[in-house]
Amino acid sequence: MPDEIISITREGAVATITLQRPEKHNAFNRALDAALGDALAALDADDSVHCAILTGTGNAFSAGADMTEAVAAIDGKGRSEGMARAYAGVANFRKPLIAAVNGICYGGGALVAILCDIRIASDNAAFRFPGAAYGLVVGGAQLPRLIGPAYAKDLLFTARVVQAEEALRIGLVNAVVPQSDSSNAALAAALEMARQIAQNSPPALIATKDTIDRATQIDAGSAAEGQHNAALRQSPEHHARFKEAADRVAARGQQAQQQQ
The region of weakest confidence among 103-107, 236-240, 255-259 is: 255-259
Answer yes or no: is pLDDT of 16 > 50.
yes
55 inside domain: yes
pLDDT exceeds cutoff 50 at 258: yes
Whether residue 74 has pLDDT greater than 70 = no
CATH number (domain holding residue 92): 3.90.226.10
End-to-end CA distance of the chain: give it in Å, rounded. 34
pLDDT tens digits along 77-133? 555 557 999 999 999 999 999 999 999 999 999 999 999 999 999 999 999 999 888
Residues 52-79 have a mean pLDDT of: 81
Beta strands 126-128 and 60-62 are unpaired
CA-angle at 83, arms to 79 and 89, nearest 5°? 150
Instruction: Look at residue 123 and tell me if it is in a domain.
Output: yes
- What DSSP string runs through 98-164? EEEE-SEEEHHHHHHHHHSSEEEEETT-EEE--HHHHTS--STTTHHHHH-HHHHHHHHHH--EEEH
Are the C-beta atoms of residues 125 and 166 closer than 8 Å to each other?
A: no
More confident residue, 220 or 169: 169
Mean pLDDT across 225-254: 70
Q: Is 188 domain-assigned?
A: no
CA distance 96 to 45: 13
SS3 21: coil
Element (H, E) at 184: none
* Total of domains in the chain: 1
Q: Is residue 151 part of a domain?
A: yes
Read out DSSP for 200-215? S-HHHHHHHHHHHHHH
Whether residue 200 lies inside any domain: the answer is: no
* Confidence (pLDDT) at 240: 75
Residue 65 pairs in a beta bridge with: 28
202 is a domain residue = no
Strand order in the sheet with 60-62: 60-62, 104-106, 126-128, 161-163
Does the pLDDT at position 27 exceed 70? yes
180-226 pLDDT, tens digit each:
877 899 999 999 999 999 999 999 999 999 999 988 877 766 777 77
CB 144 within 8 A of CB 221: yes
Backbone angles phi, psi at 106, to 5 degrees: -120, 155
Question: Could you tell me if residue 128 is inside a domain?
Answer: yes
Query: Is residue 102 assigned to a domain?
Result: yes
- How wide is the angle at C-alpha 182 spanned by C-alphas 109 and 36, nearest 5°? 30
Give me the percent of the chain exceeding a pLDDT of 70. 85
pLDDT greater than 80 at residue 25: yes
Residue 93 domain boundaries: 6-181+208-259
CB-based contacts of 67, cutoff 8 Å, min separation 6? 27, 242, 245, 246, 249, 250
